[in-house]
Structure 1
Amino acid sequence: MTKPVFIALDFSDAQETMAFLEQFPADVRPAVKVGMALFYREGPAIVRQLKAAGFTVFLDLKLYDIPNTVAQATNHLAQLGVDYLTIHAAGGVRMMTAARQGAVAGATLVNGQVPKLLAITQLTSFSEQEMQETQLVTVPLLTSVVHLAQLAATAGFAGTISSAFESRAIHEATPNDFLSITPGIRLAGDEVGDQNRVVTPARAREMGANGIVVGRSITQAPDPVAAYQRVVAEFQGE
């Protein structure tokens, strides 16, 4: 899957999650994102269940702690077979390097594939003013995002999680294979919700996104399978 469309599984528990996914035909196994709420409710079991059912799993826990603690966490999570995993770039190069080492060690223990580590730059719910006021910085939001992306590339990460508005700048400042995975995606006409920097799947493609994360436009659609297929078609330019 070169340009994945991840469905954000923002459901209350495993039963609701699997009931939603059962709507998809057996030959359609979309990539899925498991966030904090679902993982903290169900634990590693939900990841094992999704992997056993054939889904590509993006585990979005936004790890952020001292290097040794993050390394232990990525070691354990890599053993679950997760395909993508998020870590906060604000933890710095030492923490991100430790995260990478932990993930490699964990995957090696189970003869598995090392998960692609994605750095959280600035949340798509942040406006530039809110970022500056919260973090006591005066640099533009884009400058901060690109700087954090470069730190992540230095640490050997696969890419970033950031707004599509920053995708071009990230690509210009990082190696050719560095990924820009973008949340904050809505189909035209859908509610924006608590996101600030929102684009459509087609616009994300035009802006250079290598993958997108879509929640409510699919999960709350009257026909989620049709909505997913529409998102994929728009993002792939079909």
Structure 2
Amino acid sequence: MADERLIAALDVHTMDDVKRLVTTLGDSVTYYKVGMELFYGVGAQVVTWLREQDKDVFLDLKLHDIPNTAAGGICSLMRLGATMLNVHASGGYTMMKTACDRMHAEAAELGVKCPKLIAVTVLTSINQDDWRDMGLALQIKSAVVRLARLAQKAGLDGVVASAQEASLIREACGKDFLIVTPGIRPAGSDTYDQSRVATPTSALTDGATHLVIGRPIYAADDPKAAAEKIINEMEKVR
């Protein structure tokens, strides 16, 4: 009953933790997010192992550097076989376009399938007060849409954004643009450190293409049952 729109976040610490959770979830989940803490802790083996289990991988390392360095980093990560990679949109148009163009060129040269490349707009932990404290004048929603349009212009496949901005991005960037939304919490769940959250149903209704969900699954007493409950909710929106 897996739903390819669900990306389960592997916000765990060791390969043993990874194997335990992935085995527990079984066929219920086919797509996993690997973030900084796990990747920096165990290295590339986590991506290799997940691919050996026929799982898709969103390698969420949020590259942000000068164009040549970001492009080189993306190409190195591309060779690991991840399904989707990301950069920070705030790195600018030239950084995003350079990374995208280099990745596609290298994938073609190697004869491998090119991963999707998406851009982080504004982190879902940031609220309007945080935003104002950074001296940024635009409203968060306006900034997110501007960054999404910039990412699309640079040739990227989509963005990471709060579900609260999904409908605006969908309107601005069209039906084929990926919108990957973290900060998803089933009704009644704790929001933890996320400020801009949504339920699975509302996020998909507003235009999200993928939902990244961590704690409500891995911290549940029965992770598989929790994942399947979320999937059942997601299936109401197609």
Q: Same fold (TM over 0.5)?
A: yes
Letter in 1 for 2:219: Q
1:63 to partner: Cα distance: 0.3
Q: What residue number does 1:95 align with?
A: 95
What does 1:216-235 correspond to in 2, within 5 Å?
216-235=215-234
1:151 to partner: Cα distance: 0.3
Deviates further, 98-107 or 117-126? 98-107
Q: 1:31 to 1:69 in 2, by over 3 A?
A: same
Q: Aligned to 1:23, what secondary structure does the other structure show?
A: helix
User: Structure 1 unaligned runs (5+)?
Assistant: none
Separation in 1 of the partners of 2:3 and 2:94?
Answer: 29
Q: What residue number does 1:21 align with?
A: 22
Q: What residue number does 2:5 align with?
A: 4
Are the counterparts in 2 of residues 131 and 141 from structure 1 also a CA contact under 8 Å?
yes
1:176 to partner: Cα distance: 2.6
Letter in 2 for 1:111: G
Q: List per-residue Cα deviations over 1:94-132 (Å, max 9, x = no partner).
A: 000111123213323442211111110000000012112
Separation in 2 of the partners of 1:133 and 1:120?
Answer: 20
1:45 to partner: Cα distance: 1.3
Q: Aligned to 1:189, what secondary structure does the other structure show?
A: coil
Letter in 1 for 2:225: A
What does 1:31-70 correspond to in 2, within 5 Å?
31-70=31-70
Separation in 2 of the partners of 1:177 and 1:209?
Answer: 11
Q: What residue number does 2:189 align with?
A: 190
What does 1:158-173 correspond to in 2, within 5 Å?
158-173=157-172
Are the counterparts in 1 of residues 4 and 30 from structure 2 also a CA contact under 8 Å?
no
Q: What residue number does 1:119 align with?
A: 119
Separation in 2 of the partners of 1:175 and 1:206?
Answer: 15
1:140 aligns with 2:139: yes
Separation in 2 of the partners of 1:183 and 1:41?
Answer: 22
TM-score, normalised relative to structure 1: 0.94
Deviates further, 215-224 or 110-119? 110-119
Deviates further, 2-11 or 74-83? 2-11
Q: List per-residue Cα deviations over 1:19-40 (Å, max 9, x = no partner).
A: 1111133x44420000000000
Equivalent pairs, count: 236
TM-score, normalised relative to structure 2: 0.94
- Percent of paired sites with the same residue: 39
Separation in 1 of the partners of 2:103 and 2:165?
Answer: 27
Are the counterparts in 1 of residues 28 and 224 from structure 2 also a CA contact under 8 Å?
no
* Runs of 4+ residues over 3 Å off in structure 1: none
Q: Aligned to 2:117, what secondary structure does the other structure show?
A: strand
Separation in 2 of the partners of 1:109 and 1:20?
Answer: 36
Separation in 1 of the partners of 2:139 and 2:105?
Answer: 37
1:86 to partner: Cα distance: 1.2
User: Structure 2 unaligned runs (5+)?
Assistant: none
Are the counterparts in 2 of residues 74 and 106 from structure 1 also a CA contact under 8 Å?
no
Separation in 2 of the partners of 1:79 and 1:100?
Answer: 14
Deviates further, 107-116 or 193-202? 107-116
Letter in 2 for 1:15: D
1:201 aligns with 2:200: yes
1:157 to partner: Cα distance: 0.8
